[in-house]
Amino acid sequence: MSCSSSQQSRTRREPPTKDRRSGPARPNLQPSPAGKRPRWMKVRMSLNRDFFDLRELVHEQGLHTVCESASCPNIGECWSNRTLTFMILGNVCTRSCGFCDVQTGRPLAVDIDEPRRVAESLSHLNLRYAVVTSVDRDDLPDGGAFIWAETIRKAKKACPEMQLEVLVPDFKGDFDCVATVVEAGPDVYAHNMETVARLHPEVRPQAKYERSLATLEHARKLGAVTKTGLMLGLGETNEEVLETLQDLADVGVEIVSLGQYMRPSERHLPVRRWVHPDEFTEIRREGMKMGFAHIESAPLVRSSYHADQQAKAARDAREAAETTDAS
């Protein structure tokens, strides 16, 4: 498979909002056994001028953010602090993950000018740290790797002082595509495992647990700072979570985010349990014994939450290891 360019699709218009679909291809509309959200899952939206300025810029530039497309509960806090996650390659995904609120279907044509517009918008924001993610583009021979690399290069050129984290798909396990992205020079290479191995067929039906592990391992071997995220509350046990953390540590992943799964709608997978904050703290404590640089673990954590602090922890850990090796 070549990762030199992304194919062009024939031009179509996105479906109207009323026809938007996300989540499983065949939802069974199960009720959530966990019941209503507990008090620790309730978020008070606090918006300031920065929030509205940021929203205006994003919409003016015709850009997509995962903050909006995936209905992130932290959008108020993050946008009010002038941090956000751009979503490239459109906002229609070729996969139908059971947890995700991003629209699924046939994507529009690849926008070759998108990397320039993302870089230009980032330059206006004057950020120290930014995150870029994308939908899965299984319709493209390279999974969108070329657009990914162009976005990284242009963003780095436009904002040389800014650090850039990329949250990428699995590229169907194609290591050439992983290399295309890593060689463009992101500061952090992230790919979310999302859940434990047993639940992958239901939660991520078009993905494979071992394949995702392999792409993270390959990125690390190429020198990237690697990161992943897991959702809790889908039916996994804490023992399975710790087993997954050990698998991640074994392939060199440095940063992990753990958060509570929240059902976007009745079409999506049900919440099996609300994981208490104390459990998140305990899982983090056990996980840090495995050698991770940082684990962000709390009910409202999402993969891009406090991403700058996570990246700093990974850099500090690498520097400490290099100092120890040198001595």
**C-alpha span between 149 and 182 (Å, rounded):** 8
CB atoms within 10 A of CB 286: 15
Cβ partners under 8 Å of residue 55, min gap 6: 79
Its sign, for the CA torsion 63, 66, 71, 73, is: negative
Q: Cα separations (Å) of 8 from 12, 146, 302?
A: 12, 12, 32
Q: Cα separations (Å) of 119 from 116, 244, 283?
A: 5, 35, 37
Residue 70 confidence (pLDDT) above 70: no
The per-residue pLDDT for 85 is 80
Q: For the residues 111-121, what does the mean pLDDT come to? A: 92
Measured in degrees and rounded to the nearest 5, phi and psi for residue 87 equal -120, 120
The tens digit of pLDDT for each residue in 139-182 reads 999 999 999 999 999 999 999 999 999 999 999 999 999 999 99
- Lowest-confidence region among 74-83, 113-122, 239-248: 74-83
**C-alpha span between 163 and 161 (Å, rounded):** 7
The tens digit of pLDDT for each residue in 1-60 reads 456 544 443 334 444 444 556 566 556 677 889 999 899 887 666 677 777 877 787 777
Percentage of residues of the chain with pLDDT beyond 90: 58
45 HSE (CA, 13 A, CB side): 8
**C-alpha span between 164 and 195 (Å, rounded):** 25
Q: For the residues 244-250, what does the mean pLDDT come to? A: 98
Residue 123 confidence (pLDDT) above 60: yes
Closest CA to 196 of 235, 169, 250, 226: 235
Closest CA to 260 of 233, 282, 236: 233
Under the banding of pLDDT at 50, 70 and 90, the label for residue 321 is confident
The per-residue pLDDT for 147 is 98
Q: Which two tokens stand for residue 255?
A: 């940063």
Cβ partners under 8 Å of residue 72, min gap 6: 66, 78, 302
Residue 323 confidence (pLDDT) above 70: yes
**C-alpha span between 127 and 58 (Å, rounded):** 14
- Lowest-confidence region among 36-45, 58-67, 247-256, 316-325: 58-67
CB atoms within 10 A of CB 273: 17
Cβ partners under 8 Å of residue 178, min gap 6: 145, 171, 215, 218, 219, 222
This prediction's pTM: 0.87
Q: Cα separations (Å) of 238 from 221, 276, 283?
A: 29, 12, 8
Rg (CA), the chain: 19
Residue 71 confidence (pLDDT) above 60: yes
Question: Which of the pair, 213 or 312, is modelled with greater confidence?
Answer: 213
The answer to whether 105 touches 25, Cβ cutoff 8 Å, is no
Residue 275 confidence (pLDDT) above 60: yes
Residue 86 confidence (pLDDT) above 90: no
The per-residue pLDDT for 59 is 77
